């Protein structure tokens, strides 16, 4: 019998970010470091068992993996797709892509983080109207400087974006308007893959930089560089929609 | 300070430093010995994560106090972060819920075909 692998990485990290609490510290207070270590070892053992079953083609491993991960993946891909049918298709595509690539999965990240990443990409692909459309070059989306100064003065974005109620930022509780959400998702589509993936995993899904680095097999410094560039490129891509709204 | 303690899209501390100008300001004061706008932008990731070393933070804040272009750029950068983060929580339907009948079976059937 294959036990569930831990699949809490992404949502737990976001909960941490949203609630401003440290779940690890809380668990440590409640259960002590020895129990945490034991729990982590159990998770790792269960994940190894599950992975071995999947790689061996064990039908019960596939069934367990699909049954345990589908609800969570469906919830995640709904953030990116236009409708329920696309969400379901994206989850199916993600599992099939993952199973096809099982042999190349090297265990740097957890199985759940790996398939989350695949599912997000599948969802974004569903959203893409013209799959042959060329992605923008990152260089042409970055700010231009002349003699160290902004070549063009940035335009202030409206302060009342997306139904926010106070301050300069959109709060988690208010969320985005439908129009703004569509603009952000469309802008994400324009980013080159390697930048979009980092931005989505870090800023949307809430993974820590180290987890993103492990998942993608790149250094933490590369994650940070890509993240910074992706944010700047997204600013450039979002600007027409946001500034137009203000007029 | 850990990044997670900072509201998304807002600098880690001294938030007044990134507030927009109340009135038009002079351009980047290179003559005042400040860092360039380009360097200022390079600091942004660390600035928002609260990991900018104290001396660089002072230099950054000093630049922002005089450079309206960078003040606007910093504000927009924070708003872009907040908008992106807003994708995660703004749809109640994105919460895990019941899985449609037949979806799991469809995936399992397709995976069997794929495995041969």
pLDDT tens-place string over residues B60-80: 998 998 899 999 999 999 999
Give the bridge partners for A150, in sequence order. A145
pLDDT digits (tens, 9 = 90+) for B29-52: 544 456 899 999 999 999 999 999
Q: Can you say whether residue A133 is alpha, beta or left, with left for phi > 0 and alpha for psi between -120 and 50 degrees?
A: beta
Q: Is B87 within 8 Å of A79 when comparing Cβ atoms?
A: yes
pTM: 0.71
- At A96, is the pLDDT very low, low, confident or very high (cuts 50, 70, 90)? very high
Question: What's the CA gap between B81 and B66, in Å, rounded?
Answer: 24
B95 Cα to chain A: minimum distance (Å): 5
d(CA A113, CA A82): 23
CB contact under 8 Å between A92 and B106, yes or no, is yes
Greater confidence (B90 vs A34) lies with A34
Instruction: Find the closest chain A residue to B103 by CA distance.
Output: A88
Q: What is the pLDDT of residue A32?
A: 53
User: Does the beta carbon of A205 lie under 8 angstroms from any beta carbon of chain B?
Assistant: yes
**pLDDT at residue A50 in the model:** 92
Shortest Cα distance, chain A CAs vs residue B71, angstroms: 9
Cβ-Cβ contacts under 8 Å between A and B: the total is 191
Q: A225 CB contacts (<8 Å, ≥6 apart)?
A: none
A154-175 per-position pLDDT tens digit: 999 887 654 343 333 444 444 6
A154 touches B at CB < 8 Å: yes
What beta strand segments (E) does chain A contain?
A: 145-146, 149-150
Looking at the complex, report in whole angstroms how far the Cα of residue B84 sits from the nearest Cα belonging to chain A: 6
With contact defined as beta carbons under 8 Å apart, do B18 and B71 qualify?
yes
| Residue A50 at interface with chain B, using a CB cutoff of 8 Å | no
State whether ipTM is beyond 0.90.
Answer: no
Q: Do A238 and B37 touch (CB under 8 A)?
A: no
CB neighbours of A141 closer than 8 A, spacing ≥ 6? A190, A191, A232, A233, A236, A237
Residue that wins the pLDDT comparison between A5 and A27: A5
pLDDT at A93: 95
Lowest mean pLDDT among A8-22, A69-83, B25-39, B99-113: A8-22
Q: Do A77 and A122 form a contact (C-beta atoms < 8 A)? A: yes
């Amino acid at each position: 019998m294959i036990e569930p692998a831990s699949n809490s990485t992404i949502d737990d990290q976001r909960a941490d970010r949203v609630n401003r609490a440290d779940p690890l510290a809380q668990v440590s207070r409640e259960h002590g470091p020895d129990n945490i270590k034991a729990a982590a070892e159990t998770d790792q053992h269960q994940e190894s068992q599950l992975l071995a079953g999947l790689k061996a083609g064990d039908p019960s491993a596939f069934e367990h993996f699909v049954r345990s991960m589908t609800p969570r993946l469906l919830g995640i891909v709904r953030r990116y797709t236009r409708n329920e049918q696309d969400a379901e298709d994206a989850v199916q595509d993600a599992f099939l892509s993952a199973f096809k690539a099982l042999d190349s999965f090297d265990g740097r990240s957890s199985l759940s983080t790996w398939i989350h990443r695949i599912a997000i990409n599948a969802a974004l692909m569903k959203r893409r109207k013209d799959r042959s459309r060329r992605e923008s070059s990152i260089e042409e989306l970055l700010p231009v400087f002349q003699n160290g100064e902004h070549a063009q003065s940035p335009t202030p974005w409206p302060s009342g974006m997306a139904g926010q109620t106070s301050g300069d930022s959109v709060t988690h509780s208010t969320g985005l308007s439908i129009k703004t959400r569509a603009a952000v998702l469309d802008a994400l589509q324009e980013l080159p893959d390697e930048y979009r993936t980092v931005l989505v995993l870090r800023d949307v899904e809430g993974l820590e930089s180290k987890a993103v680095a492990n998942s993608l097999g790149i250094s933490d410094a590369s994650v940070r560089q890509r993240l910074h560039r992706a944010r700047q490129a997204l600013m450039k891509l979002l600007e027409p929609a946001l500034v137009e709204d203000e007029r | 300070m850990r990044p997670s303690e900072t509201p998304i899209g807002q600098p880690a501390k001294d938030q007044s430093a990134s507030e927009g100008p109340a009135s038009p300001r002079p351009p980047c004061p290179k003559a005042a010995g400040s860092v360039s706008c380009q360097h200022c932008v390079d600091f942004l990731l660390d600035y928002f994560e609260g990991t900018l070393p104290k001396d660089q933070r002072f230099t950054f804040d000093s630049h922002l106090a005089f450079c309206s272009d960078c003040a606007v750029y910093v504000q927009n950068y924070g708003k872009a972060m907040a908008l992106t983060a807003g994708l995660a929580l703004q749809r109640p339907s994105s919460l895990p819920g019941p899985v449609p009948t037949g979806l799991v079976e469809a995936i399992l059937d397709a995976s069997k075909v794929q495995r041969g």
